[in-house]
Structure 1
Amino acid sequence: MSALYDVRPGVRDFTAYVAGLSIDEIRQKYGLSRIIKLASNENPLGVPPLVQKVLRERAAEAFRYPRLGNPELNARIAAHLGVGPERIIAGNGSDELIDLLVRIKARPGQDNVVAFTPCFSMYGMCSRMLGVEFRQAPLRADFTFPFDDLIDTCDENTALVFVTSPDNPSGYAATAEELADLARRLPERALLVIDEAYVEFADDPAKRSLLSRLDEFPNVALTRTFSKAFGLAGLRLGYGVLPAWLAEIARPCQMPFSVNLLATYAGMAALDDTVFLQETLRITREGREWLTRELTRLSCEPAPSQSSFIMFRPPARPGLDARGVFEALLTRGIIVRHLGGFGLADRLRVTVGTRRENETFIAALAEVLHG
């Protein structure tokens, strides 16, 4: 074979990210007119009204480049969080910030990156693409975090440690004090990156985050997203809350104009639409509680969740495993997530939807399980 086709070692072994099934895919496959998608943890209320208004008003500006570095958006995010703007870096989804942090901190062929398993696939993908060893410590059987095991997986060459809290797919969230203790115990070179994509949905987010204590921990960075609580998944907007020393280094390393102009306007409008955010959190928390009760009533095993979704194990039925339940729901126009890709073939994950969506899902699940 020609040398032209040579690529970096290991690249051919990569597997593509597996996304949840789309509404169009299910509509075409099963010929259904009504589809309820509860697979991708999208906002149950859709796009904030203020964002829709701003996008209509600003669409004609899409031929312009955004301001380099997104200073206005960064300042608005900082004000929303109550931190200094020097800490904020907006990106093309929180995925870009994860990738950027790995590229800045980890030395190829020398350092390692540590996370739990199962975890968000981007941590391993970004590490391996850079040629950095990716190490993992298993979660406990109840999906709580064994931080001692995570620390034992580290060494003097650990560059980053990723913790998703609330976790995906379990919904489990550590306390702020547990995360603080972890940060204190990590090796000197290690940066603790806490992925807080779902933290707004926790019953008491302040008790689950180190946001208000970042001045105590120069080795802690947070990543967050506008995709979930703010309803902007399709615009790909996220941000990092970094130590000021790291943000200063990271800014020149970020790809220019990675956040598009309309996403910038949308992010600022979403922060202004506080009514939408509060209604999203109310509906999600109430729906999460209701779904947990109903899943239990149907003899499922829902995991306690502080997120916008619930992981559950359906009851054992002859000839009907979790994959079978997933496919039976699809034929009824209900899309949930089978967790085989996380190594959890006996479990499903359902996004909390609107009241009507939740009720329709439970009725369909009852029919699948009990006829």
Structure 2
Amino acid sequence: MYKSYIQEDSTYKGGGKKIVMPTGIEVHKLSSNENPLGFSKKVSLAITNAVNDLSLYPDNTDIRLREALSKDFKEQLDADHFVTANSGSEIIDIISKVFLSEGDEIIVSQPCFLPYTAFTRWMGAKAINVPMTPDYDYNLEGILKAITAKTKMIFLASPNNPSGNYIPYDVLVAFLSKVPKNVIVVYDEVYRHFAEASDYTSALPFVLEGYNIIGINSFSKTYGLAGLRVGYCYAPLALSNYIRKVCKPFLLSSLALEGAIAALEDTDFVQRTVDLVQEERKFVLKGLDELGIKFWPTEGNFVLIDPPVENIDFTKFMESKGIMVRPVGVFGAPGKVRISFGVRKANEAMLAAMKELLNNL
């Protein structure tokens, strides 16, 4: 009666809630890659106005949000290229449902976002792990060699969570040209706004060229709407139109619809967020370097470090100082810790706590 692959423990567990500290100790949550600026005032106004209609059903479809996304993408894509859902994670779930069956294979590269393996397992698919290199680069040749007749999807992320690495444009071009036409590349780009590398690329040019690639995005990071749960993907029309066939009516709440549309309109808030993250990234990485803490280059709004003590002990010490960080052994990076970039005050407190720990060793 029960499916064995569903009974396996594959539940994704997100970052913890904000801890409570004694009076006088400020808590800085740097464990969940959330927006340190919060969210746009335009979102707040839109949601406040939408509250008056909570007794009514929301839009039957997501067409208004998809049209807003088309506008945000400078109309390089039509509304029909987009699919929206309750978070980027649910997009992964929907993609798994429409493309995977029992016995299929997917390819991932750990460390990676847990839903890639957890959600696909619910469909009876087997995850083949082609680990990243010690420097946390994709072993793309290894991925190509791992493709079999059972392979249906390849998951890539750029920037990748939790390692922060990205895939340069030329490297991705060479890779995609060798991927069989019947294999779909799922390209997680939820941190794309924060990338500064001149050769960084989103999935957009490859969607425009008709590759079997799906770009996954979220409103949780750049737009600061993690609590609202809105995500989307875009893909060539043959893929996006197919994916939308399983989308339920009234899928997005009225608050989610209005909030997401308003978030896209506030480009000034988006730019302030990007500017803050990029500035604080430089500040934190310089501070870590001065402390002698090993870290990996990152294009995200977080950094992966090798803590000076065992990762659980490190996490507990940081929490005793009001600093929340994230051990990422479950992502496939045993012993490592991921730290999000906050506002300057939070980052200074984090570096000060780390310095205190080092001085006590």
Q: TM-score range by the shorter chain?
A: over 0.9
Distance 1:192 1:51 in 2: 32
Given candidates 46, 61, 85, the residue that maps to 2:79 is 85
Paired position in structure 2 for 1:250? 243
Query: Is 1:106 paired with 2:95?
Result: no
Distance 2:255 2:216 in 1: 21
Query: Is 1:235 paired with 2:228?
Result: yes
Given candidates 4, 12, 21, the residue that maps to 2:7 is 12
Paired position in structure 1 for 2:348? 359
Give the superposition deviation at 1:217: 3.0
Query: Is 1:39 paired with 2:31?
Result: yes
Distance 2:13 2:91 in 1: 20
**1:114 and 1:162 in contact (8 A); partners too:** yes
Given candidates 175, 182, 186, the residue that maps to 2:179 is 186
**1:201 and 1:306 in contact (8 A); partners too:** yes
**1:113 and 1:134 in contact (8 A); partners too:** yes
Aligned to 2:58, the other structure's residue is in SS state: coil
Aligned pairs (5 A) from 1:1-371:
6-23=1-18, 26-27=19-20, 34-82=26-74, 83-109=77-103, 111-204=104-197, 207-315=200-308, 320-371=309-360
Give the superposition deviation at 1:322: 2.5
Q: Quick check: 258-267 or 38-47, which moved more?
A: 258-267
**1:27 and 1:33 in contact (8 A); partners too:** no
Q: Kindly, what percent of the aligned residue pairs are identical? A: 28
Give the superposition deviation at 1:63: 2.3
Give the superposition deviation at 1:260: 1.2
**1:339 and 1:345 in contact (8 A); partners too:** yes
Aligned to 2:153, the other structure's residue is in SS state: strand
After the TM superposition, which parts of structure 1 deviate over 6 Å for at least 4 consecutive aligned residues? none
Give the superposition deviation at 1:19: 2.0
Q: Quick check: 156-165 or 36-45, which moved more?
A: 156-165
RMSD (Å), alpha carbons? 1.7
Give the superposition deviation at 1:306: 0.3
Q: What code does the residue aligned with 2:148 have?
A: D
**2:66 and 2:79 in contact (8 A); partners too:** yes
Deviations 1:274-333 (A, max 9, x none): 111101000100100110010111110111000000111123xxxx32321211011111
Stretches of structure 1 that go unaligned for 5 or more consecutive residues are 1-5
Distance 2:79 2:14 in 1: 33
Aligned length: 358
TM-aligned CA distance change 1:343 to 1:114, over 3 Å: closer
Give the superposition deviation at 1:339: 1.7
Q: Quick check: 60-69 or 85-94, which moved more?
A: 60-69
Give the superposition deviation at 1:118: 1.8
Q: What code does the residue aligned with 1:203 have?
A: E
TM-score by length of 2: 0.95
Higher helix fraction (1 or 2): 1
TM-score by length of 1: 0.92
Give the superposition deviation at 1:206: 7.4
Distance 2:301 2:240 in 1: 29
Distance 2:292 2:230 in 1: 38
**1:91 and 1:258 in contact (8 A); partners too:** yes
**1:180 and 1:210 in contact (8 A); partners too:** no
Deviations 1:200-249 (A, max 9, x none): 10015873223134221331110101100010000000101011011112
Deviations 1:36-80 (A, max 9, x none): 100000001001111111111221112222222210100101110
